[in-house]
Amino acid sequence: MQKAGHEKGKTPVPDGIILQRLSLLLTWKNFIFFYTLRVESDVTPGLLVSLVTVDKGRPGRAGRIISRILLFGEDLIKKPLFRCQQCGECILSHTAFICSQRCPKRLRNGPCGGTRDGGRCEVFPERTCVWYAIYRRSRLLRRGVLLDAVEPMHNWRLEKSSAWFNVFTRRIGPPVLFLRKQNDDDTRGKN
């Protein structure tokens, strides 16, 4: 995942301009414009980044408002579907769309040594080990290569924040939805 820093994004923007851009963003056409820009190209000029002004890793006022709105929408989708734990550093797409943070130890790099027979959790024997499920489904969906990379330590400052917002502001990498592209470039080297 690209983690290119955005120098431009870090220059503070006056609040008035932020609100102006915010109103611009709120028309749905513009939202789609921003969204496609973000998803399609890796050299996004970072419009959203400058809009929300992430300064020293903390969003400004406008950023916090957008973040809260996005978090609300994210919860509506991710909570019922994936039992999202709001880690703010979403790796759902790497783990075959099973939330790894349901693991009692919140492991991000595979199962601990205690998985019981039949793939049950060591802490709660009545549950299936999430990592057991992830490996099983990854194989089924042929997404096993996504488990090769070592996930870095969790950034606890992102806890309880919106992962979508964090993707937009480039604090975390984008999700890997389609694997074909990923296969072309070497996944192993990307940690």
Partner 1 sequence: MMTLAEKIDRGEFVVTAELGPPQSSNGDVIRRKAAHFRRGIDGVNITDNQTAIVRLSSISAAVICRQEGLEPIIQMTCRDRNRIAVQSDLLGAAALGIGNVLCLSGDFTSFGNHPEARPVFDMDSIQLIAAVKGMTEGRFLSGDPIKTPPSFLIGGAANPFAEPLDARIHRLEKKIDAGAAFIQTQPVFDLEYFFRWLERVRERDLDRRAAIIAGVMPVKSAAALRYMQDNVPGMRIHPDVIARMEAADHPEETGVREAVETIRALRRTEGIRGVHLMPLNWESVTPVLLDAAGLGGSEQKEE
Q: What is the size of the binding site for partner 1 (CB under 8 A)?
A: 31
If binding is defined by CB under 8 A, does position 189 make contact with partner 1?
A: no
| 119 versus 174: smaller Cβ distance to partner 1 | 119
- Does position 155 interact with partner 1 (CB under 8 A)? The reply is no
Burial of 37 (0-12, 13-18, 19+ CB in 10 A): middle
Closer residue to partner 1 in complex, CB, 71/130: 130
Q: Which of 140, 171, 175 is nearest to 154 (CA)?
A: 171
Place of tokens 């024997």: 125
Distance CA 72, CA 91 (A): 19
**Binding flag, residue 177, partner 1 (CB under 8 A):** no
Neighbour-count burial for 143-182, b at 16+ CB within 10 Å, e otherwise: bebbbebebeeeeeebeebbbbbbbbbbbbbebbeebeeb
Query: Which CB sits closer to partner 1, 73 or 152?
Result: 152
Per-residue binding letters, 68-107, with partner 1 (x by CB under 8 A): ------------------------------------xxxx
Binding site for partner 1 (CB under 8 A): 104-119, 122-123, 131-132, 135-136, 139, 147-148, 150-154, 156
